[in-house]
Chains A and B, each alone.
Chain A
Amino acid sequence: MRLRWHHLALWAALVLGMLLLPYLVGNGTLRTMIFANYLAIFAISWDVLSGRTGYVSFGHPFLIGIGAYTTAILTKRFDVPVEISIPLAVVATMVGGLIVLLPALRIKGSYFALVTLAFMELMYQLVQVIRPDLTGGTRGMSGLPTLTRGAVNGFYLSTALMLAIAISMWLLMRTRLGIALAAIGMNEESVRGSGLSVTRLKTFAFITSAFIAGLGGAFYIHYLGSIAPRALFDINFLFTIIVAALIGGAGTVVGPLIGAFFLTFLLEFLRPYLPGAERYFVYGGMALLIYMYQPKGIIALFEAGLGRLGRSR
């Protein structure tokens, strides 16, 4: 692993900027930033699995939902303290990740995407009918314990979580493991032909992705204080996660982060003009254009721009 000083400087600048932000902007913007942070966590989680290994997951809300529902049920119905329920939720999500993994060991490509989509829809329907006394059925649950009070604290907590996940994933993906996972996305057979156990690598990617999804889902739900099946197991939610990773730049850590912030603020910017779900029209249209024009995302546009600047100098 080789670290370059300018990488460290950029991360330090980001951390510092985030720390100072509450002194510079109002609470409204901070609340938007909180959503961007959680979206970034989910997009990074998606990317660890799908952006790297090429196994496109359409079921990430399934994983996030396991984490969110586990901690919601434990705290609300069984009065388990948050310090215990969140770790349990993360473990439950990792088990859920393993369940999704099983078909992935046998099927590839489009079929994997479809089976994960089916898992998400299955979860959506099951949550409403099985033990509604626990899950709250179609309406979900509200009045869940929240971890923080006020926008500033919520912002610091979500930022710390997001940066911890982003930096550790960034470091992890700079090791040879990152190259091995990316190689699976390019040619699984050749990875096997290089003497590496592809199954073990895929398992690692799944579990890591599930770990992040569960952690993010659990903290997110304790920020919102409420949970509803339609908000979680929803194609629009899935769409936002995938689009954040893709238009930021899949296969990188910084890409999903940029994508999440870009999308959240775009959505916020559109709010005065299009107050309802119609915002997704402009938002999705832009995402589609960027994806068609530059499948490697905004980060590739940046790099190309920097390259051009470097050459002209």
Chain B
Amino acid sequence: MSVSLAVTGLVKRFGGLLATDDLSFRIDPGESVGLIGPNGAGKTTVFSQIMGEHRQTSGTIGLDGEEISGLSTSARIRRGVCRTYQVPRPFPDLTVAENVRVGQMPDSIWEMITRSGDRQREVELALSVGFAKGDLDRKPSELSMGNLRKLEMARTLATEPRLMLLDEVFAGLTAAEISVIAELVQSLRADGMTFLIVSHDLKALEPLIDRAIAIDRGAKVAEGPYLDVIKNPRVRASYLGTS
């Protein structure tokens, strides 16, 4: 059920700005990797290129050995990649259950009309990320930041991903909420999910990942076991802004 991701020679230019600079890395099936770096290092841009929201200037993105650069975002999601956003983006007028339902829909208008979804699975997904039964009919405006992140996890999990890209999953959460999300990631890892996680909260990130990749100004600075990476002088320098 797991998947491998191989990014090679990825370059992204926005006008004169080099947002991604010849970046290459690999994630093996079932692995969990942290992507770290200072503000503006280009972590989110890497995510949006993997998802096809921005087309890379050059370089390749392979999923299970197959090039996906030519595919649309929705086609990539059907191949089993998905991402969450730094700022959760729920559908404000839909209930929690309906939000999850959108993620669960098949990408075929005919099937959307003729087949009703699997309500059982919808409820299961919502409960699995930690919602209570009573939350299912609530609207996003009534939810806390932690619950909004859970909702986004549930909606993306509904697309049945094998590789999840998590962008700043801990931002704006209380300590209790952080541990709920962390537990969720751990249980998904145990089931074989592959992860690429961006977080500023390194303390919360550390237990969730097998290794780390540090980038600065779009280029890879260090890669390896978490402790080695954060002790790397170039990584430290990039965080301090002295490089």
Binding site for B on A (CB under 8 A): 1-2, 172, 175-177, 179-180, 182-183, 186-187, 189-198, 200-201, 204
Contact = CB atoms under 8 A, between A and B. Distances in A.
Contacts of B74: 192, 195-198
B42 to A, nearest CB: 20
A201 B102 contact: no
Contact of B102 (A183, A197, A200, A204): A183
Contacts of A189: 89
A265 to B, nearest CB: 30
B90 to A, nearest CB: 7
B128 to A, nearest CB: 17
B89 A179 contact: no
Interface stretch (B55-63, B92-100, B185-193, B231-239): B92-100
Interface residues of B, number: 31
Given A183-B94, A196-B107, A201-B109, A176 B117 contact: yes
Interface string B30-41: 000000000000
A183 B90 CA distance: 9
6 contacts: A175-B113, A186-B92, A186-B93, A193-B85, A194-B156, A198-B74
Nearest to A186: B91
For A176, A186, A191, which residue has the most chain B Cβ atoms within 10 angstroms? Answer: A176
Q: What is the interface of chain A mostly: helix, strand, loop, or mixed?
A: helix
Given A187-B89, A193-B82, A197-B72, A176 B105 contact: yes
Nearest to B100: A194
Given A175-B112, A177-B109, A194 B159 contact: yes
B103 interface: yes
Interface of B: 51, 72-74, 77-78, 82-83, 85, 89-94, 98, 101-103, 105, 107, 109, 112-114, 116-117, 155-156, 158-159
Contacts of B159: 194-195
Contacts of A204: 109
A8 B156 CA distance: 35
A261 B158 CA distance: 42
Contacts of A177: 109, 112-113
Contacts of A195: 74, 77-78, 82, 103, 105, 107, 159
Most buried by A among B72, B105, B156: B105
B113 A182 contact: no
Nearest to A1: B116
Contacts of B158: 194
A176 B109 CA distance: 9
A194 B109 contact: no
Nearest to A176: B112
Contacts of B89: 187, 189-190, 193
